[in-house]
A and B are shown apart, each in its own frame.
Chain A
Amino acid sequence: MSDQPPDSNPPPAGADAHRPTLAERLYLPEIAKGLGNTFRHMLREPFTVDYDGTERDNPAKHRVPCPGYRGEHYLKKDEDGHVKCVACFMCAAACPAECIHIEAAPTPPDWKNRERYPIRFEIDLLRCIYCGYCEEACPVDAIALSPQYNVCSDTREAKVYGRDRLLADGVKYGLSLSTHKYRPDGVPGAAPAAEQSGQ
């Protein structure tokens, strides 16, 4: 402090340098202005929103941060109600955090549309960085990120989501079918077909 000149922050040289008036140099009128400004803000509606806390499992009240928000993953189902994933490992390969673990198996004989499906599909959400590369990598649009940001749990094990949990989450948020896309207005549910084709 002692090595600083008395005024270590001189106004910039130049024609447009602001010369403080007497009232400004007295501080007090300017402080009064500032106090008035903050007082007006005190009366304004808050800019922030309530954290929805216990409403996390109520899709109708779940507040969506913004369109395209990347929260917890879910798995989609095909028209027969089976898991849509074909166990191609594209998402696991694309994952920079290496948090997706898949075990593939041949499909049961009555699944006509493909040959492989995952008997184990785990995402370690503590490793996940929510980049959304898995969603982009998936060739059959089977995995996606929901707007669910409320991600607390009591144990580490609880944050490793298995296949059935991921499928159930998709059902819970009304996002399970491939034609169900999270809508830009923030309401989870079926998107109009026109919007789908545009994407």
Chain B
Amino acid sequence: MDYALKLIPVVLVFGGVLSIVPVFVILERKICAWIQDRIGPNRVGLFGPDSVLEGLSFKTGTRRILGGWLQPFADVVKLIAKEAIVPANADRALYILAPAFALLPPLLAFVVIPAGPDIDFRGGTVVPLQVADLHVGILFVLAAASLSAYGLAFGGWASNNKFSLLGGVRATAQMISYEIGMGLVILAVVMTYDSVSLRDMAYLQAGAQPILDEHGMPTGFWQYGADGIGGWGIWRQPLAFILFVICAFAENNRLPFDLPECEAELVGGYHTEYSSLGFGMFMQAEYIAILAMGALLTTCFLGGWHYPWYGAVLARDPVLAALLGVVCFAVKACAFVLFSMWVRWTLPRFRWDQLMNLGWKAVVPLALANLVLTAVLNLPATAPPRPDHRMTAAARGM
């Protein structure tokens, strides 16, 4: 029974994450087109100019928004049907493994990110909406994010192509540089919540009160939630929020920091030589990585699954409150992905030295200053009581 319950978040989180990628692909192309005053893909699907519904003669605006939404399926069929080419003198094993190395780490990050509060059925059955509440919590996400540099570096190295190699080297240098800034930012966040557990962070932002035993030690959370959004991390760590967004773009190699791909200089960067599903997996990894960053950002700064009037809904129906929380979490994480697309088609690419300057001379010092400021403001007297998630789990009877 326990294992069956454990399967629920696994299926929910990974099924959701893997199946939303095609939506992001078409959204990216559509948003790009709209920003550039184009129509974008509008053929595949029911609303295109050549579709079976053409007799209904849609207005241009309808066709503009609704046309082409099945394009990703056509793209996937195309990718599967293409030949998977391994270049001459490529490191064959690494070349084939590299896309998997790129795809796995962002998926791993979702293991510790809570997609919603525990669903507390009245019979005493509690279904967690987090795959695993690891002791290391957010450090696990950072570790997974660091690993994703391997995928790009292997892809660039194994391709036996100078452009790919340069892309891989750039990816490594860029991700390591911005990991430092991101680590410092997250350190300040951890100090604010006094916990590395993402579950604790989400509950604290939702206004949940820790349950204290007779020694004053927290053993869990009262099922109580705030109505307002005043507890969200963005109000407590505004500078960290901005720095985190910048680092997230750099970590994911998104424009304006997409130096590892950089079509203008490196053809396609680390995935120049990849065709068929190898390229498809790199593409998928990129979008899942953005979504993972969005989920992390949501959990740290945007209240996780919390939403306005959560407390009122929770008082009436805990199950409904939890399910609404999952929806809100997904909406927030996807909003970050949309934002990254919007930014991508707005800003030009940074030059390499500008990228490094920004990382080492702006982000790292600011993150350090933020850390010191947080340390001064977060004196032990004012810090919230520290919940211990191991006791929390015990209190939940799991």
Contacts and interface: CB of A to CB of B under 8 A. Distances in A.
Do these two chains interact? yes
Interface of A: 1, 4, 6, 8-9, 28, 31, 34-35, 37-39, 41-42, 44-54
A47 B49 contact: no
A47 B38 contact: yes
Chain A contact surface mostly:
loop
Given A46-B34, A53-B43, 12 more contacts: A1-B353, A4-B353, A6-B357, A9-B351, A38-B35, A41-B36, A41-B37, A46-B33, A46-B64, A50-B39, A50-B49, A50-B63
B8 interface: no
A113 B338 CA distance: 70
B315 interface: no
Contacts, number: 58
Contact of B42 (A6, A50, A52): A50
A58 B347 CA distance: 42
B343 interface: yes
B39 A34 contact: no
B345 A38 contact: yes
B50 interface: yes
Interface of B: 31, 33-39, 42-43, 49-50, 60, 63-64, 242, 342-343, 345-347, 351-353, 357
| Interface core residue of A28, A44, A50 (most chain B CB under 10 Å) | A50
A52 B43 CA distance: 11
Contact of B347 (A6, A34, A44, A45): A34
A48 B38 contact: yes
B39 A48 contact: yes
A52 B54 CA distance: 12
Nearest to A37: B346
B47 to A, nearest CB: 12
Nearest to B361: A6
Contacts of A1: 352-353
B37 A48 contact: yes
Nearest to B242: A28
A39 B346 CA distance: 9
A38 B348 CA distance: 13
A34 B256 CA distance: 13
A87 to B, nearest CB: 41
A8 B39 CA distance: 38
Nearest to A46: B39
A46 B67 CA distance: 14
Given A34-B347, A35-B342, A39-B342, A46 B38 contact: yes
B38 A42 contact: no
A38 to B, nearest CB: 4
A180 B151 CA distance: 63
B342 A38 contact: yes
A50 B343 CA distance: 26
A42 B39 contact: no
B347 A31 contact: yes
Contacts of B39: 46, 48-50
B390 to A, nearest CB: 41
A1 B38 CA distance: 36
7 contacts: A9-B351, A35-B342, A35-B343, A38-B345, A38-B346, A41-B37, A46-B37
A53 B346 contact: no
Contact of B50 (A8, A45, A54): A54
Nearest to B34: A42
Contacts of B357: 6
A176 B269 CA distance: 53
Per CB-CB distance, the 10 closest pairs between chain A and chain B, nearest first, are A47-B37, A42-B34, A38-B346, A38-B35, A46-B39, A34-B346, A48-B38, A1-B352, A53-B50, A41-B35
Nearest to A1: B352
A6 B353 contact: yes
Contacts of B351: 8-9
Contacts of A47: 37-38
Contacts of B352: 1
Q: Most chain-A CB neighbours within 10 Å: which of B31, B34, B346?
A: B346
Nearest to B42: A50
B377 to A, nearest CB: 23
A32 to B, nearest CB: 10
Contacts of A37: 346
Contacts of B35: 38, 41-42
